[in-house]
Structure 1
């Protein structure tokens, strides 16, 4: 799987990561969401044991190997210029128009 993003999106992700070390995890989250699941982008200290690498030119990105099937081979992440959220899409589908970044790093 490959995750593409433009320069503006890269800058917004860099803002979210800040100066602390962190890696990105693309997750189909079903915990406490009250629905069938939502796509989230997490900032984590490190990948989980079940994660596999997602190809990205900008950041170290991971996803759970069992969740990879939920996504298309090429995904595009776009920062919303008018709202603090992101859009995740592919050529065939929109996975989320209002995706948030959640910082999961230990304090």
Structure 2
């Protein structure tokens, strides 16, 4: 899997995490979706990886954690961008926009 972050996305992430310690994670969120196939990719900033579940993908900017068991639902080549128009992150692949309004959550579940 290859993940690229645009310059705009990298700058927005830096502004949000503001030198806090943690990990950027591309979470395939299925809570409230009813079915694992209906998940929604979101960006999370977490304290630590989930042992035995998260793998690290090196990018052109930040390393990103991805759930090994959910990689099947993601395309092989991904790009994380930021839309100034909608003020949201976007997850794209060469063939589609996977999530045009991707949330960024700081330390979810706390």
Give me the TM-score of the superposition, normalised by structure 2: 0.86
- Asked if 2 retains the 8 angstrom alpha-carbon contact of 1:45 and 1:106, the reply is no
Which runs of 5 or more structure 1 residues have no equivalent in the other structure? none
Determine the structure 2 residue equivalent to 1:45. Answer: 47
Alignment of 1:35-74 (within 5 A): 36-49=38-51, 50-74=53-77
Which runs of 5 or more structure 2 residues have no equivalent in the other structure? none
RMSD after superposition? 1.9
Which contiguous aligned blocks of 4+ residues in structure 1 show a shift greater than 4 angstroms?
none
Aligned partners of 1:33 and 1:17: how far apart in 2? Answer: 27
1:106 deviation in Å? 8.2
- Asked if 2 retains the 8 angstrom alpha-carbon contact of 1:22 and 1:105, the reply is no
Give me the TM-score of the superposition, normalised by structure 1: 0.88
Spell out, residue by residue over 1:25-66, the C-alpha distance to the aligned partner (whole angstroms, 9 max, x if none).
Answer: 111101135672211110001111110111212112111101
Aligned partners of 1:51 and 1:2: how far apart in 2? Answer: 15
Deviation larger for 27-36 or 79-88: 27-36
Alignment of 1:15-94 (within 5 A): 15-33=15-33, 36-49=38-51, 50-94=53-97
1:8 deviation in Å? 1.4
Aligned partners of 2:72 and 2:15: how far apart in 1? Answer: 29
- Asked if 2 retains the 8 angstrom alpha-carbon contact of 1:76 and 1:88, the reply is yes
